[in-house]
Structure 1
């Protein structure tokens, strides 16, 4: 485990049209979270929101022993806002910073709500704002079945294949057009409180090796090589 004299996990996500932060206290097993939809302004609101969740948890920055940040895929600027803040806090607080995929955080949010059927596959569907979608498939217990990818609308049905899927993400209207898919429109943004709790377990089981490095994940053009890196991480953690 990470240093128990610093029992808190700080989780940050600005990869989509929201600012989402949480702190989980591994000593008391309690947490505090703030999540605000916002298309812009995350850079101004992020630090005040972190201050708020720490105050609500009756903790300070000195209690933070691990920082978890979503690394993408998602909005270019949003991904970099969270990463820049996480890295800066990591240096200042002298604590490790680790990355998780935004798709992973969304899948874990659905699992936490207990609404996934055991025979269902989770499909994360996120609008790239460029006429296609970020997608990834997970088993009902959160294990990744595919790498995150950019998928065109006319390719979505082929991606689903024979899976019985429940679709989550920020474009439920598109998901509703997929034959045989169940749409859960309650999971649009990640619950970083639950992601922090998942991170505590992962860190205990595998340390930093159970996470991605805190580097941005993009899935286009020259950034495709980063997808190969993710694929290796997925294979190693299965």
Structure 2
């Protein structure tokens, strides 16, 4: 079985191919071009690297968020179009699930944390044993102080990874002390290989969907939507 996945929810974009639960190719890029400019060239380059073509792909997958609203849409729309044209099933994978999955088993709680701006983070809490991931809290976009409050309820070691970790490190260390563990620098961004591996597992568990069913996972409204909903001040006196 050949699975192709893309990850476009963050600053770094990646594409990976997994064959029968084994990563055979992965390309990541983080430079000036937008995801819309580089996603198809990345897909073509990744396939070419292992001598495959789009028609060889059995399953398509995309990271569905949370993360960059624009980036997520680009990845989801691209995968939907490819899968529809080739009549293939798809799987959507949570960005936070994929990020947590990259970590080895940990005797404690794992929490991927992505910057959501305005002192907020996209995050969730997991346990990982025997390479199996258990989500303890659903994905959410929350203030960093609310994340700290949730983390303290566990009362045990917590492994934090993602691009928001360094941003909020001083406060996290102050509040959590010795309970705080950090991941290697290489785990700042989610990877398409994790998305592909989780997608393949979903397929084996009969949880693949049609291209029409693939949708982004937005855990909060976009900035434009929040501004639209904000009450307008009454200038009339």
TM-score, length of structure 1 as denominator length: 0.80
C-alpha deviation, 1:199, in angstroms: 2.4
Runs (5+) with no aligned partner, structure 2: 223-237
Cα shift readout 1:135-175 (whole Å, capped 9, x = no counterpart): 10011232111001112122222110224210001122214
TM-score, length of structure 2 as denominator length: 0.81
Q: Does 2:24 match 1:36?
A: no
Q: Which aligned pairs between 1:24-103 and structure 2 lie closer than 5 A?
A: 24-26=18-20, 29-38=22-31, 41-103=34-96
Q: Which aligned pairs between 1:75-224 and structure 2 lie closer than 5 A?
A: 75-110=68-103, 114=104, 116-117=105-106, 119-141=107-129, 142-161=133-152, 162-173=155-166, 174-178=168-172, 179=176, 180-184=179-183, 185-208=185-208, 213-221=213-221
Cα shift readout 1:120-146 (whole Å, capped 9, x = no counterpart): 110111101233111100112321110
User: What corresponds to 2:233 in structure 1?
Assistant: none
Q: Distance in 2 between matches of 1:92 and 1:19?
A: 23
Higher strand share: 2
Does the Cα contact within 8 Å between 2:7 and 2:195 map onto a contact in 1? no
**Matched length:** 207
C-alpha deviation, 1:109, in angstroms: 1.3
Does the Cα contact within 8 Å between 1:17 and 1:39 map onto a contact in 2? no
Runs (5+) with no aligned partner, structure 1: 1-6, 223-238
C-alpha deviation, 1:30, in angstroms: 4.8
The root-mean-square deviation of aligned C-alpha atoms, in Å, is: 2.0
| Larger Rg, first or second structure (1 or 2) | 2
Higher RCO structure (Cα 8 Å, ≥6 apart): 2
Partner SS for 1:177 = helix
